[in-house]
C-alpha cells in the first residue's frame, strides 16, 4: 500500500500566520498565533498521516513545541479532535535537542506522548518516555519498511497471536505506526506498516 502524507512546511505556516520572525519560533506566543494556521492544514486534509517539515527553521524552543504540538496530542488522546499520525522531519540540531526535551520529560501516565523523527534516507528516531522494550522491538521491524500482521509478530517472537495483536495495537494507539484493514481468504485482518 502506498502511504500518502500531508507534508506541512512549518516555515510556510509561520509566514502565512504573519509571524514577524518565521524562522525563529520561541515561546508560546508565536505558537498560539501559528496554531490555527497549522491546524487548518492538519485537519482540512483527508490524509491520516501528517509530516511537519521544519526545513528553513533556525530555532524552535521547547515551549513552542509544547504549545503547538503537545496540546494537539492531548486533545487527540481525549478524543476531542480527529486522531492523526504526526511525525517531524528536517530538524536542525537545536530544534532536535528541544524536541527531545519536550518528549522525554516526565509526564502523568495519561499524558505520555511519542514522537517519530524522520531522518535522512527514511532513517528514524523515536522520542518517548520509556517505551517498553517489546514494543520497541516490534516498532524497529515495522520501521524497516515491513508490513506485518499479528501472525507475523507471533511467529517471529514465539508469542501468542493475541499477545502480538496487543503489541501492534498499542503502537497504533500511540500513533507511531499505520494500520490498514485488508480482506484475505480467511477474512479481515489488520496490517501494520511504517508511517513513512
Please write the tens of the pLDDT for every residue from 120-162.
Answer: 877 999 998 778 999 999 999 999 978 999 999 999 999 999 9
Cβ–Cβ < 8 Å for 191, 180? yes
pLDDT at 81 > cutoff 70: yes
In this prediction, residue 23 carries a pLDDT of 94
Percent of the chain's residues with pLDDT above 70 = 98
Q: Which residues contact 14 (CB under 8 A, 6 or more apart)?
A: 22, 23, 25, 30, 34, 57
Residues 163-175: what's their mean pLDDT? 95
pLDDT at 97 > cutoff 70: yes
Percent of the chain's residues with pLDDT above 90 = 73
Q: Does domain 1-129 have CATH number 3.30.1330.10?
A: no
Cβ–Cβ < 8 Å for 17, 33? yes
Cβ–Cβ < 8 Å for 75, 39? no
pLDDT at 54 > cutoff 70: yes
Cβ–Cβ < 8 Å for 10, 52? yes
In this prediction, residue 2 carries a pLDDT of 55
* Class of domain 131-196 (CATH, top level): mainly alpha
In this prediction, residue 1 carries a pLDDT of 52
Domain with CATH 3.30.750.24 in the chain: 1-129
In this prediction, residue 26 carries a pLDDT of 95
Domain with CATH 1.10.10.10 in the chain: 131-196
Reported confidence tier of residue 112, pLDDT bands at 50, 70, 90: confident
pLDDT at 42 > cutoff 80: yes
Distance CA 106, CA 115 (A): 15
Q: Tell me what the pLDDT averaged over the chain comes to.
A: 91
**All cell numbers assigned to 23:** 524562522
Cβ–Cβ < 8 Å for 50, 76? no
Amino acid at each position: 500500500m502506498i502511504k500518502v502524507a500531508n507534508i506541512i512546511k512549518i516555515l510556510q505556516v509561520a509566514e502565512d500566520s504573519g509571524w514577524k520572525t518565521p524562522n525563529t519560533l520561541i515561546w508560546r506566543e508565536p505558537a498560539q498565533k501559528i496554531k490555527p494556521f497549522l491546524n487548518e492544514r492538519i485537519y482540512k486534509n483527508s490524509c491520516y498521516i501528517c509530516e511537519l517539515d521544519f526545513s528553513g527553521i533556525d530555532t524552535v524552543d521547547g515551549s513552542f513545541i509544547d504549545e503547538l504540538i503537545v496540546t494537539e496530542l492531548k486533545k487527540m488522546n481525549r478524543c476531542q479532535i480527529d486522531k492523526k499520525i504526526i511525525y517531524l522531519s528536517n530538524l536542525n540540531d537545536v530544534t532536535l535537542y528541544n524536541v527531545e526535551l519536550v518528549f522525554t520529560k516526565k509526564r502523568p501516565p495519561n499524558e505520555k506522548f511519542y514522537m517519530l523523527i524522520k531522518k535522512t534516507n527514511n532513517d528514524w528516531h523515536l522520542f518517548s518516555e520509556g517505551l517498553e522494550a517489546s514494543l520497541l522491538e516490534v516498532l524497529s521491524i515495522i520501521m524497516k519498511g515491513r508490513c506485518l500482521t499479528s501472525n507475523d509478530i507471533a511467529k517471529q517472537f514465539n508469542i501468542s497471536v493475541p499477545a502480538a495483536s496487543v503489541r501492534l495495537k498499542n503502537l497504533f494507539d500511540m500513533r507511531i505506526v499505520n494500520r490498514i484493514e485488508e480482506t484475505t481468504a480467511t477474512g479481515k485482518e489488520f496490517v501494520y506498516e511504517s508511517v513513512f
